[in-house]
Structure 1
């Protein structure tokens, strides 16, 4: 870190130093040397594998994407996916979630058997600190489509026994894996297809508003994985 004060262009106040990286944390897995090396090797292997594949399209949002968007203040991105031969609506795209979640009511509606669940040893906590029951997790083939092109991926869902107006919550694990980018301004999610084209899934704004308002009224929440309950 530099300590000599400098004057950067566009800043009237002198800059006294630079912070290049933040060390530590859990973004790269566990805090052990072996886990850090394993994570680094995985990143390098992923970059090499991606460079060998067909070039992916640039995922950009333009003014044309706003033409069918109703002006809004804070609507979430809510899409539909296909899994187990059924089209599932009310799927919340949440980049702040560290897990892909399927709620127990959806699990039952898909007529899945509890015998398909594998045990999960972690803990799931809501934003208010309440512990959520996790019967287990399972992997399901899930399809994203814009009625022209489709992308099929296996998603490991944590099945949680908690009330929610959403059926599924898509978090960072699958969004990063398929290279998807969601925009609440443009009310769309875009991802590259295997053929090198771009898939655009539109958010249902009416359903997004309804789910969001119902969550506020009934205090039904969205959950995130933590190793310890949040501090009071």
Structure 2
């Protein structure tokens, strides 16, 4: 796929970029099949947000909002403080984050932490940059596309399920 020079430079990929076509990507993707047991414990119809629990840096973290529309992973300050991570470990950030409402939030920084999803025997851990930002009354973490993509995750808000390949 040929990319114009200006766009290529902006994306940091140089003159030429080879990528899988959408058809090739789909053929290698995890098939998402729904079974009646996938809806166990889910009252339908619903339009509930998808909230999970996971392990971040060896801490059990509840109330993690899975957001396929977000381009960042955010660990809210209260959860960060409970993990007793030294703020000096945060890498400074020059960019702001913007909430869905459009309000600007200046994160305290970002840090690479291990994020573990799943249950034995399908337990996977990947290191992810988490932005430390603001306070949230209800959530401890906001999991966006970067983390979901690295796991190869398929999200179904209807089934309230997150599936990823068995490696």
**Shorter-chain TM-score tier:** 0.7 to 0.9
Q: Deviations over 1:50-82 (max 9, x none)?
A: x9xxx7752322222113322242111111111
Cα offset for 1:149? 1.6
Partner of 2:73: 100
**Gap runs ≥5 in structure 1:** 1-22, 25-30, 195-232
CA distance in 2, matches of 1:192, 1:34: 33
CA 1:64/1:173 → structure 2, altered by over 3 Å: closer, same or farther?
Answer: same
Larger Rg: 1
**Gap runs ≥5 in structure 2:** none
Q: Deviations over 1:143-186 (max 9, x none)?
A: 11223320110111111023341111111111122211111111
Please tell me whether the aligned partners of residues 132 and 161 of structure 1 are also in contact (alpha carbons under 8 angstroms). yes
Partner of 2:7: 32
Please provide the CA RMSD for this pair.
2.6
1:74 aligns with one of 44, 47, 64 = 47
SS in 2 for 1:38: coil
Please tell me whether the aligned partners of residues 111 and 129 of structure 2 are also in contact (alpha carbons under 8 angstroms). yes
Please tell me whether the aligned partners of residues 78 and 91 of structure 1 are also in contact (alpha carbons under 8 angstroms). yes
> Where do 1:133-148 residues align within 5 Å?
133-148=106-121
TM superposition score normalised by structure 2: 0.82
TM superposition score normalised by structure 1: 0.60
